[in-house]
Amino acid sequence: MDSGSSGDQDERFARALSSADPDPDFETELAIVAALRTLGPGIAPDDLARERMRKRVLVKASPAVSSRRGRFAVALVAALALVLALGGMSLLLSRDALPGDALYGVKRTAEAATLGLTFGDESKALKHLEFANARVGEMETLAQRHPDPADAPVGGYLTALTDFDADTTQASRQLIALATRGELQQLESLRAWVAQQTTRLAALGPRLPVSVQQRTTTSRQLLDKIAERSTLLLGRADCYQITTGGSDDIGAIPATGLCHRDTASSAPTVSTGPTSTQQQPRVKTPETPPPPAPEESKAPVVPTPPVEQTVPQVPLLPVPVPSAPVQPSAPSQPQLPIPILELPPLLPGLPAIRIG
């Protein structure tokens, strides 16, 4: 066989198969092809053999595919279980995390998720107060772990105070909004909570670093501002105008004008007209000055009381009473004459018997 490119050899072999003249270079190959053409129809599998082979191929292939899918599903479930286990363990461990710890961010994320699942303005406001109360508790725990203020983590204290101010401001805004809509007991609860947190921060102050003490003053001023706002709003609870309509960072701003109370409920009722069971109003005549007393008597002048004149009753028009309908009398039946029946005497000498 001549050496050459494989493409040229393929073309020459194809021409040799279709040509009647054999090519000496492909003599062996052409002999094999001729033998296969002779034996082909005899050794080819029948239809039953083909169907049997196809089923065997499918049965061999399907367990491999299903096994791969099963292994993938098991691996996916295991990974999901691992993630949930790690997440639950992280949440459990982060419950006692303090500002500056590695799991403190997980704790704050869990609190944000809890707030997102809370419905209602009052419930959300109470959640903010709960979180703010937890921040003060974290600072108290930090003060216990670090008795020396010089070695205390300043960044942890500042983080807790920042979160405390944010939750307190949000809770104050929501509770004051509820109070101005008629739920005044929210202001009493807010004032009591503010007094409690003010006492805790005041007791915590000497145990904190100097820079943190200055930052604590800002938080205490915020608490004092909320307490003053609650007191002013409670003082105007009975006024016609409670707020100015504006608000600031902690809630609605109370009005500063005179307290005008609503007197609509105490206005006298006016009768629409006299009835048979009501009395007519009395008209007071203007007071007349008393006649001057004689000069020689010099007696003290006693004013005469005003004379009340009763307005005469207006006679009521009689209401006609409907009379019962007159039923027509039935026509009189004509009287028929009663016949007279006379019987002969039963015995001689007796008078006859007359009936009728």
Q: What is the DSSP string of 311-333?
A: PPPPPPPPPPPPPPPPPPPPPPP
Res 291 pLDDT > 80 = no
pLDDT digits (tens, 9 = 90+) for 136-177: 999 999 988 888 888 888 888 999 999 999 999 999 999 999
Give the span between the Cα atoms of 96 and 330, in whole angstroms.
107
Residue 297 backbone dihedrals phi, psi, to 5 degrees: -80, -40
pLDDT digits (tens, 9 = 90+) for 166-207: 999 999 999 999 888 888 888 888 999 999 999 999 998 888
For the four alpha carbons of 147, 150, 152 and 156, in that order, the dihedral sign comes to: positive
Q: Which pTM value belongs to this model?
A: 0.52
SS3 77: helix
